């Protein structure tokens, strides 16, 4: 219920370390702006190592690259790194990964592979054109620029675009539609309706023609579009970045953490939203998670947000009443009731058999007259649709998630509707298991759980940061990084402004470790205050201070224990990355792991500004 575990999945290519930021691949650029050169770096008779280098020789940034070549019969690629390499017979194709597709003018990038046989590549094409950077495919001119798009039928979430056709000596095959420089569609006609947008948000659209040889011509002029709506302060596309924290209702027990702690720590001034966790999902309905903690526990004057004690006969007490007092004191804070979580996600497959009835039950509970003013919306934390978490969902179709979110939007109207999602970006992994792109049309944002990638459930290691921002040499599983998760959601059509980066206010650790650097062996989980292998940041910062950083996350080796966790410094670097990606903000699990003066909340706040 507290933390999320990710199951491992295979990946065919080996990814080497990177130091730059991950960018979502955009449409292929014309080959006139780049070259591709091949070098055989090693040859051991029965096999060899080859390297391709792509260089941007133009004056504008390239956002993706694809190299194609032919090998003679008997020569083939056996393994590759820093690119996705596939083949159809003797014809081979290499595409950039999520992090190395963007090349500024003059920049270059290389990928390598091991091969068998003795042949050399021939017939090289880069993004459909000549690898030598020639002006065009021989005998075939690139298409002209289409007309600047015209926008019409603009709504909160969609816009219709039309443009004048491009010309080409051998015919135009289709058009790439670019939103903010990233391809969102390829169409054969001269119009396109873009959906799933964020209300009250600025977008820029251009169009690029592609001829029958897949050469792309110049990009059209840009049209700026601002969707209608917005101004409610709750949508991450509207300006202010979201800084959302989870408040766990069970924290009022052993952890002795209460709503008032948000005030005394200074965190209330810096957050924008609270996810109250969790409500249950059972019998096809949203239900109360812990009635005593939620609305019955009595608070003394000293414990209360406003210094006023609860009385025995008042209609609402507990966390709900304290949240009401917090919102009165800090009216900028919006509170969202989160349902499900690791322990209670097993109720979702049954509930979504009738999405409308499920949504109505949730709305009736969230808008109960006793606490309707406390909550500003609903969050659904289903771990995981059409996949396995604590239990396996074997009955829901891939579109069950979007059907649920569509019903929630219909029931909750303009209130906030959000969801916590997997960050498993492996090929065929949990992001691929549900239709998150379609569901994004109905939600305000996704809380992408970019933590718990690695931990001591693998009791013998290897030790690894549980919340890596990027990949690194020796990572135990490709596809288990924040950058790859965000890139995959973008590739599925989820707007960046609807994605929040997740931060864990805790560490995961092993014991029996002798190696300081990541990748060491262990004998089991390290001792934690509440659970083996887990400890709060507020404890670790003193008991096992950070000794290094890997993939944007701190790690520490003290005695025979090895921990990974985020510090104020790594949080700020992750916020800078989130801003560079255009994300809607960040969220964290959960308040009680922070220091008494809210170090990590402050780091998120300052990092997002």
What confidence tens digit (pLDDT) does each residue in 73-90 have? 989 999 988 999 999 999
**Tens digit of each residue's pLDDT (9 = 90 or more) over 544-568:** 999 999 999 999 999 999 999 999 9
Structure tokens belonging to residue 145? 């620029």
Q: Which CATH number fits domain 31-130: 2.60.40.290, 3.40.50.720, 3.40.50.10440, 3.30.70.100?
A: 2.60.40.290
DSSP class of 252: G
Distance CA 2, CA 453 (A): 15
Query: Quick one: 311 exposed, middle or buried, by C-beta within 10 A (0-12, 13-18, 19+)?
Result: exposed
pLDDT at 21 exceeding the cut of 50: no
- Residue 196 pLDDT > 70: yes
**Helix, strand, coil shares, percent, the chain, to 5:** 20, 30, 50
pLDDT band at 134 (very low <50, low <70, confident <90, very high): low
Calculate ∠ Cα 549-554-560, nearest 5°: 100
Assign domain 150-226 to its CATH architecture.
Answer: Sandwich (2.60)
**Confidence class for position 230, pLDDT limits 50, 70, 90:** low
> 205 pairs with which residues across the strands?
179, 223
**Distance in angstroms (rounded) separating the CA atoms of residues 258 and 319:** 8
Residue 231 has pLDDT above 50, yes or no: no
Question: Is it the case that residue 27 has pLDDT exceeding 60?
Answer: no
Q: What are phi and psi of 595, to 5 degrees?
A: -75, 165
pLDDT at 236 over 80: no
Q: Quick one: average pLDDT of 118-138? A: 74
> Which residues contact residue 45 at a Cβ distance below 8 angstroms, ignoring those fewer than 6 apart?
none
Domains 31-130 and 241-504+566-608 share a fold: no
Distance (Å) of CA 416 to CA 273, 380, 411? 11, 11, 11
| Residue 181 pLDDT level (bands cut at 50, 70, 90) | confident
Assigned token pair, 547: 């000794």
Structure tokens belonging to residue 459:
């009791």
Sequence-distant (6+) residues with CB within 8 A of 77 are 71, 85, 87, 92, 113, 114, 115
Judged on CB neighbours under 10 Å (0-12, 13-18, 19+), 74 is: exposed
Active-site position among 49, 136, 240, 383: 383
Residue 198 has pLDDT above 80, yes or no: yes
pLDDT in tens, 257-283: 999 999 999 999 999 999 999 999 999
Q: Is the pLDDT assigned to residue 8 strictly greater than 80?
A: no
Mean pLDDT of 31-42: 75
Tokens for 458, please give them: 């693998």
Q: Tokens 């690139």 — which residue?
A: 142
Helix H or strand E encompassing 446: strand 445-448
Range 459-464 average pLDDT: 97
Span 40-59, mean pLDDT?
A: 84
Residue 576 has pLDDT above 70, yes or no: yes
Among 388, 441, 583, which residue's Cα sits nearest to residue 503? 583
The whole-angstrom separation of Cα 594 and Cα 504 is: 10
Q: How far is CA 141 from CA 184, 206, 290, 309, in A?
A: 25, 21, 68, 79
**Dihedral sign from CA coordinates of 96, 99, 105, 109:** negative
Give the pLDDT score at 140. Answer: 62
Q: What is the pLDDT of residue 43?
A: 81
**Domain spans of the chain?**
31-130, 150-226, 241-504+566-608
Count CB neighbours of 61 within 10 A: 16
Return the structure tokens found at 2.
Answer: 């507290």
Distance CA 570, CA 419 (A): 25
Cα 95 to Cα 55, 399, 469: the distances in Å are 14, 29, 22
- Give the model's pLDDT for residue 169: 82
More confident residue, 145 or 513: 513
Q: Are strands 223-226 and 216-219 parallel, antiparallel or unpaired?
A: unpaired
Closest alpha carbon to 589 in 544, 534, 549: 534
CB 123 within 8 A of CB 62: no
Rounded to an integer, the average pLDDT of 372-391 is 96
For 398-414, give one letter per residue: b (16+ CB within 10 A) or e.
ebbbbbbbbbbbebbee
Work out the mean pLDDT of the chain and round it to a whole number.
88
Cβ–Cβ under 8 Å, residues 117 and 76 = yes
Where do we find the tokens 């008997």?
74
Fold observed for domain 241-504+566-608: TIM Barrel (3.20.20)
Per residue, what are the HEC states of 247-268?
EEHHHHCCCCCCCHHHHHCCHH
Three-state secondary structure call for residue 190: coil
pLDDT of residue 560: 97
**Pairing relation of β-strands 223-226 and 202-211?**
antiparallel
Reply yes or no on whether the pLDDT at 17 is more than 50: no
Band (116; pLDDT cuts 50, 70, 90)? very high
Band the pLDDT of 178: cuts 50, 70, 90.
confident
Could you tell me the pLDDT band of residue 517, with boundaries at 50, 70 and 90? very high
CB 607, CB 566: distance < 8 Å: no
Give per-residue burial for 482-519: e unless 16+ CB within 10 Å, then b. bbbbbbbbbbbbbbbbbbbbbbbbbbbbbbbbeeeebe
Average pLDDT over residues 448-472: 97
Determine what percent of the chain is predicted with pLDDT higher than 70: 91
Please tell me the predicted confidence (pLDDT) of residue 132: 66
Q: Residue 405: which residues within 8 A CB-CB, separation 6 or more? A: 380, 417, 419, 439, 442, 443
Q: Give catalytic status of residue 383 as yes or no.
A: yes
């Amino acid at each position: 219920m507290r933390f999320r575990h990710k199951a491992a999945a295979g990946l065919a290519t080996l990814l080497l370390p990177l130091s730059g930021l991950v960018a979502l691949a955009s449409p292929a650029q014309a080959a006139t702006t780049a070259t591709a050169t091949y070098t055989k770096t090693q040859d051991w008779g029965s096999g060899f190592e080859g390297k391709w280098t792509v260089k941007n020789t133009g004056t504008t940034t390239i956002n993706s690259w694809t190299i194609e070549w032919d090998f003679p019969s008997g020569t083939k690629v056996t393994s590759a790194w820093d690119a996705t390499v596939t083949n159809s017979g003797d014809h081979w194709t290499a595409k950039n990964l999520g992090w190395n597709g963007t090349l500024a003018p003059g920049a270059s990038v290389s990928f390598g592979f091991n091969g068998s046989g003795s042949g050399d590549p021939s017939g090289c094409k880069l993004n459909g054109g000549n690898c030598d950077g020639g002006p065009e495919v021989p005998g075939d001119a690139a298409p002209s620029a289409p007309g600047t798009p015209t926008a019409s039928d603009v709504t909160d979430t969609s816009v219709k675009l039309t443009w004048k056709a491009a010309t080409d000596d051998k015919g135009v095959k289709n058009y790439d539609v670019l939103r903010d420089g990233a391809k969102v569609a390829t169409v054969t006609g001269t119009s396109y309706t873009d959906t799933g947008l964020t209300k009250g948000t600025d977008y820029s659209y251009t169009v690029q023609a592609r001829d029958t040889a897949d050469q792309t011509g110049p990009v059209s002029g840009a049209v700026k579009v601002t969707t209608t709506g917005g101004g409610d302060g709750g949508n991450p596309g509207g300006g202010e970045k979201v800084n959302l924290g989870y408040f766990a209702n069970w924290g009022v027990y052993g952890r002795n953490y209460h709503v008032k702690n948000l005030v005394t720590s200074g965190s209330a001034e810096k957050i924008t939203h609270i996810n109250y966790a969790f409500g249950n999902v059972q019998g096809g309905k949203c239900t109360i998670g812990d009635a005593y903690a939620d609305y019955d526990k009595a608070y003394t004057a000293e414990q209360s947000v406003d210094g006023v004690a609860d009385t025995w006969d008042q209609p609402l007490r507990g966390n709900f009443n304290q949240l009401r007092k917090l919102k009165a004191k800090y009216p900028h804070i919006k509170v969202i009731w989160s349902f499900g979580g690791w322990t209670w996600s097993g109720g979702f497959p049954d509930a979504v058999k009738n999405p409308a009835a499920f949504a109505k039950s949730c709305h009736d509970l969230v808008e109960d007259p006793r606490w309707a003013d406390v909550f500003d919306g609903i969050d659904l934390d289903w771990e995981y649709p059409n996949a396995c978490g604590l239990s396996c969902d074997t009955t829901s179709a891939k579109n069950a998630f979007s059907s649920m979110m569509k019903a929630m939007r219909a029931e909750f109207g303009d209130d906030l509707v959000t969801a916590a999602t997997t960050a498993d970006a492996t090929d065929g992994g949990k992001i691929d298991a549900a239709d998150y792109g379609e569901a994004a049309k109905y939600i305000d944002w996704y809380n992408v759980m970019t933590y718990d990638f690695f931990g001591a459930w693998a009791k013998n290691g290897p030790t690894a940061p549980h919340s890596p921002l990027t990949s690194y040499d020796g990572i135990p599983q490709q596809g288990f990084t924040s950058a790859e998760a965000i890139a995959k959601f973008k590739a599925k059509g989820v707007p960046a402004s609807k994605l929040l980066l997740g931060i864990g206010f805790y560490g995961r650790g092993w014991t029996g470790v002798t190696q300081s650097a990541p990748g060491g062996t262990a004998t089991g989980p390290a001792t934690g205050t509440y659970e083996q292998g887990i400890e709060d940041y507020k404890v670790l910062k003193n008991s096992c201070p950070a000794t290094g950083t890997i993939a944007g996350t701190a790690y520490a080796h003290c005695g025979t224990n090895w921990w990974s966790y985020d510090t104020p410094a790594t949080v700020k670097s992750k916020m800078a990355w989130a801003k560079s990606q255009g994300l809607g903000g960040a969220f964290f699990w959960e308040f009680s792991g922070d220091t008494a003066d809210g170090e990590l909340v402050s780091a998120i706040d300052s990092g997002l500004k």
